[in-house]
Chain A
Amino acid sequence: MLARLLKYEIKATARLFLPLYAVLIIYAVINRLINPFYTLEIQGSFTFQTIFGTLSIIVYFILIVSVFVMTLIIIIQRFYKNLLGDEGYLTFTLPVNPWQHIISKLMTAMMWYILSAVFVLLSNFISIKDIDLTTLLNLIKSSIFNASFLILPILILVQLASNTMMIYDAMTLGHLFQKHRLLASFAMYCVLYIIQQVLLLILILPLSRGIFAFIFQSSTPTPGQLNSFFIFLIIPGIIMTAAHFAVINYILKRKLNLE
């Protein structure tokens, strides 16, 4: 059943994401042809071409930002409409357990986060000519240290999952209210955010002389320190994700009240 849910989940969201990626790639190809980065580099004086080049780069960055913003909006909207809106009347009469709905939504969301990042990177490679891959990789490696090369992406994924689940959780909790459910969802997000920050602080403070010492001493961390710092942050991320999952599952299973 989970495989089938995923299939329809991807189908329903792909029709929104694919055109978004198509626009990004087409624009990157156009950028490659007119090459605004190069134009700006060689033109010393203020010409029509520099204006055009600058504009084109600004539009490109707006496009990149909107891809990420749209990714988040589509993911939030899908959860809200498909589970808590009118579509929920069908979703919740399917012979499927609520946890499967949550997992299918989260897995699809993670897939689109990754794909959005991949397409933005791809559009970078397309729009900038003569990009030097080895220099780029070296740059990434030197900026986050060799040791964190694998840990950091995992940390980012865990953080994305836990934040997504927090948004899902806020909407589900907001739905427990009789009235003003959207407003209640925003309020719930604030509450969850504060709880999370407080818990994190409680966790970090006792370790201020240990793993987090470099933050409090504002010294440059060694690669080893940074690595253990990242690993340590992954754990609360996983715990928060699991906690949100438990709350959402309980409400959808035992306290569901669709409008």
Chain B
Amino acid sequence: MSNLLECRNLSKSFGPVKALNNVNLSIGRGRIVGLLGPNASGKSTFIKICNGLLTPTEGEILINGHKPGIETKKIVSYLPERNYLNDWMKVSDIIGFFSDFYQDFSKDKAYDMLSKLGITASQRLKTMSKGTKEKVQLILVMSREAQLYLLDEPIGGVDPAARDYILDTIIRNYNENATIVLSTHLIADIEKILDDVIFIREGQIVLNKTVDEIREESGKSIDSLFREVFKC
């Protein structure tokens, strides 16, 4: 079977700024991939192109053999770095919304995770803290049986105690044929769950290896390698 995600000569410019510069990348199935880079390195831009929210300037991206569109949206579950939910909605409204539009959405799974995190489904989002809203979004995204999960900064806004639970949730809630791409700069927290690592800097891929390869070759943890590569 072909790779789940394939991109060729992908570039994206915002005016004179090149957010992505000639990126070539293949990501297989059943992997947990860390997309790691400093701020403004192109992580979000890449993920937004995968979701069809941005149009590439050059090159193309194929997910399961399709360009971003209705076919890929059915199999991609996306967690953006911002809040995209209507504030006036109740959690139960949003769960209804997701199950109306995504065939792979499991209501039971969502309600189960909500109760474990102590979030009431009848609560309106308006009354929730920023961290709680992020948890709700993550629950929605992980309640889908998607083939590709694209999680943009999934642990950025929550406290370290909740981070472990969230990472645990991510790992427990995907099937082994699915792939997760996680973008973050909080490497130490996610290092232990990763299979593959992609380092991105100024819109270019500077490293793309498995965690085992990195450990064997350099004998370093990803966190210390990251600090070395991206030394200011």
Residues of A within 8 A of B (CB): 1, 4, 7-8, 12, 15, 86-90, 92-97, 178, 254-258
**A201–B84 alpha-carbon span in the complex (Å):** 44
Q: Which residues of A contact B101 (CB under 8 A)?
A: 1, 4, 94-96
**A89–B82 alpha-carbon span in the complex (Å):** 9
- Tell whether B85 is near chain A: CB-to-CB under 8 Å: yes
- Is A15 within 8 A of B76, CB to CB? no
**A15–B89 alpha-carbon span in the complex (Å):** 11
Tell me the nearest residue of chain A to B15, going by C-beta. A178
**A255–B53 alpha-carbon span in the complex (Å):** 9
**A15–B97 alpha-carbon span in the complex (Å):** 16
Tell me the nearest residue of chain A to B73, going by C-beta. A95
- Is B52 within 8 A of A95, CB to CB? no
Beyond the given pairs A93-B53, A258-B54, 4 more chain A to chain B contacts, judged by CB atoms under 8 angstroms and listed by A's residue number, are: A88-B53, A88-B84, A95-B74, A257-B54
**A149–B3 alpha-carbon span in the complex (Å):** 63
20 contacts between A and B (CB under 8 A): A1-B101, A4-B101, A86-B84, A87-B85, A89-B82, A90-B85, A93-B51, A93-B76, A94-B73, A95-B70, A95-B71, A95-B73, A95-B101, A96-B70, A97-B70, A178-B14, A178-B15, A257-B55, A258-B53, A258-B54
Going nearest first, the 3 A-B pairs with the smallest beta carbon separation are A89-B84, A95-B73, A90-B84
**A84–B18 alpha-carbon span in the complex (Å):** 23
Q: Which residues of A contact B88 (CB under 8 A)?
A: 15
**A46–B232 alpha-carbon span in the complex (Å):** 82
Q: Which residues of A contact B70 (CB under 8 A)?
A: 95-97
- Is B73 within 8 A of A93, CB to CB? yes
Q: Which residues of B contact A97 (CB under 8 A)?
A: 70
Tell me the nearest residue of chain A to B13, going by C-beta. A178
**A238–B88 alpha-carbon span in the complex (Å):** 36
- Tell whether B120 is near chain A: CB-to-CB under 8 Å: no
**A178–B100 alpha-carbon span in the complex (Å):** 34
CB distance from A11 to the nearest CB of B (A): 8
Tell me the nearest residue of chain B to A8, going by C-beta. B97
Give B50-99 interface residues, CB cut-off 8 Å to A: 51-55, 70-71, 73-74, 76, 78, 80, 82-86, 88, 97
- Is A92 within 8 A of B102, CB to CB? no
Q: Which residues of B contact A95 (CB under 8 A)?
A: 70-71, 73-74, 101-102
**A129–B56 alpha-carbon span in the complex (Å):** 63
Q: Which residues of B contact A254 (CB under 8 A)?
A: 55
Tell me the nearest residue of chain B to A258, going by C-beta. B53
**A178–B14 alpha-carbon span in the complex (Å):** 7
- Is B51 within 8 A of A92, CB to CB? yes
**A7–B96 alpha-carbon span in the complex (Å):** 12
CB distance from A182 to the nearest CB of B (A): 18
CB distance from A191 to the nearest CB of B (A): 22
Q: Which among A12, A178, A258 is the interface contact of B48 at CB below 8 angstroms?
A: A258
Q: Which residues of A contact B84 (CB under 8 A)?
A: 86-90
CB distance from A184 to the nearest CB of B (A): 14
**A195–B82 alpha-carbon span in the complex (Å):** 38
**A4–B82 alpha-carbon span in the complex (Å):** 25
Q: Which residues of B contact A257 (CB under 8 A)?
A: 53-55
Per-position contact with A for B93-115: 1 when CB-CB < 8 Å, else 0? 00001001110000000000000
Q: Which among B52, B74, B86 is the interface contact of A12 at CB below 8 angstroms?
A: B86
**A89–B53 alpha-carbon span in the complex (Å):** 7
**A15–B90 alpha-carbon span in the complex (Å):** 13
Most buried by A among B53, B55, B73, B78: B53
